[in-house]
Amino acid sequence: MQQRNTFCGTLEYMAPEMIQNKNHNHTLDIWSLGILLYELVHGRAPFTGVHPREISDKIMRGQIRFKPGLSNEYKDLVNKILVYETSERIPLIKVFDHPWVKNFEKKYNLSKQPTPKKQKKQKNLPTTNTSFNEPP
């Protein structure tokens, strides 16, 4: 598994391992997906603050507050993505199989559609000597 040691991005989306300047891998992107999912539902990132240090401290503590009325499936998915320990984060393939995603697909009719059958090849049509470059 390829390790990176870059430091870039928006602080609110940074995973704990990036804040700690540790090597990281693709699980950092899964963390960012969790932040995005939270922000799409709440209208803000889960870890906010006035000063950068306050934001990074909240990320390191990892306490997530959800607005009332959200499904347990949604909260379960976000909690499985925003896990401090990288090896314990839900793998991306399991995100797509999570009950919240499956219910979302069903509710909005987003399930995979069968691929259309190939069209039969048309018979050769007669050609003309007309060129598209010539005026009519």
Q: Tell me the per-residue pLDDT of 20-74, one tens digit each, with 9 for 90 and over.
A: 988 888 899 999 999 999 999 999 999 999 999 999 999 999 999 999 999 999 9
For the chain, give every domain's residue range.
Answer: 11-107
pLDDT at 74: 97
Element (H, E) at 27: helix 27-42
pTM: 0.75
pLDDT at 108: 87
pLDDT at 55: 97
Length of the chain: 136
Interval 89-113: pLDDT, tens: 999 999 999 999 999 899 888 876 6
Q: Give the whole-angstrom CA distance, residue 30 versus residue 18.
A: 13
CATH of region 11-107, choose from 3.40.50.360, 3.40.50.300, 1.10.510.10, 3.40.50.720: 1.10.510.10
Q: Check if the beta carbon of residue 19 is closer than 8 Å to that of residue 35.
A: no
